[in-house]
Amino acid sequence: MKTKHLMVVGVAALSVAACASAPQRNDQLEQARAEVQSLAQDPDAGRAAPMQLQAAQSDLQQADAAFANRAPPAEVDYFSFLAMREAETGKAHTDEARAREQLAQANQERDRILLQARSEEAERARLAAMNEQQRAAYAEQQAQQAQQQAQQAQQQAASMQQQLQQEKDQLAALQTQQTRRGLELTLSSDLLFDTGSATLKPGAELQLNRLADFMRKDPKTRIIIEGYTDSRGSEEYNEVLSQQRAQSVAAALESQGVDADRIKTVGRGKNFPVASNDTQAGRQQNRRVDIIFSDMSGQFAEEADQGPALR
């Protein structure tokens, strides 16, 4: 059977049965709320970082709405993560603006001292020249320090903004889907392995390189790698094959610098099919590797270790 190069992206997110009682709090949400409130209470944030403040408040509202509507914890964590990062970026922009103001004040003070020195009477200027020069030198030093602080704050703000955008772009490039188990990425097993084999194909390198790059840039993220097969063959054979395939993907990531303790592998065999095994197309969809992502603090959703819902 010829291998069809088909990427099956994502598993459809299913609704979770209503809990007997709503959770009292979500630590990720409360941390994000504290960061957004801290930014909002900064008197300089409104003029220095209005866009970041508005974006952080908007993301926090979405996180609150998801929590109030009993959405999956992973969805609440996702919007809380965005709110927190926007708030951090806003703080960086605000610190940059304050540093620039300090620089301007330092320059004004330096100019005042120099002007005063030039307007002194000759004798007094001669006697006080050294002292004034020292004061001017100190003011110059303060101005340079303020300038350095402004540059550092500007670089930090730009770096935070770039990092946030990169994380959003990387998640989009990986084509993840939000499910009840968290952010989830589905890779077609036929693109990774030959039939009945757990050895990675050369063509699998591009997909796994992207995943490894994301993991290196976000060192707190952890993943669960799940291997699946179609229904052909014995249950024992499929369980072993699916576990070996999950371990092959884990080994490829570890070879690219991802720590082994950030990866968990599970072989689910022919269980949890996402399509009918009565057709070739359906069996191809069932031969897959699912990757479940933790939140940015390394915590998984409560249902992450459970298999996907049967269709």
Ramachandran area for residue 187 (φ above 0: left; ψ -120 to 50: alpha; else beta): beta
Question: Is residue 235 located within the same domain as residue 203?
Answer: yes
Give a yes or no: residue 14 inside a domain: no
Question: Is residue 251 located within the same domain as residue 279?
Answer: yes
Q: What local confidence, expressed as pLDDT, does residue 15 receive?
A: 34
Question: Is residue 117 located within the same domain as residue 217?
Answer: no
Q: What local confidence, expressed as pLDDT, does residue 137 receive?
A: 86
Residues in the chain, pLDDT under 50: 1-20, 311
Say how many domains are in the chain.
2
Residues 6+ apart with CB under 8 A from 281: 275
Question: Is residue 151 located within the same domain as residue 228?
Answer: no
Give a yes or no: residue 17 inside a domain: no
Give a yes or no: residue 40 inside a domain: yes
Question: Is residue 131 located within the same domain as residue 246?
Answer: no
Q: Residue 218 sits in a domain of what CATH number?
A: 3.30.1330.60
Which pTM value belongs to this model?
Answer: 0.50
Question: Is residue 35 located within the same domain as residue 142?
Answer: yes
Residue 215 three-state SS: helix
Q: What local confidence, expressed as pLDDT, does residue 3 receive?
A: 36
Residue ranges making up the domain that contains 118 = 27-173
Q: What local confidence, expressed as pLDDT, does residue 89 receive?
A: 95
Give a yes or no: residue 311 inside a domain: no
Question: Are 223 and 259 a contacting pair, CB within 8 Å?
Answer: no
Q: Which residue, 173, 201, 225, sits at the end of a domain? A: 173
Per-residue pLDDT tens digits for 279-304: 999 998 888 999 999 988 889 988 88
CA atoms within 13 Å, Cβ hemisphere of 235: 2
Question: Is residue 128 located within the same domain as residue 257?
Answer: no
Give a yes or no: residue 20 inside a domain: no
Q: What local confidence, expressed as pLDDT, does residue 301 receive?
A: 87
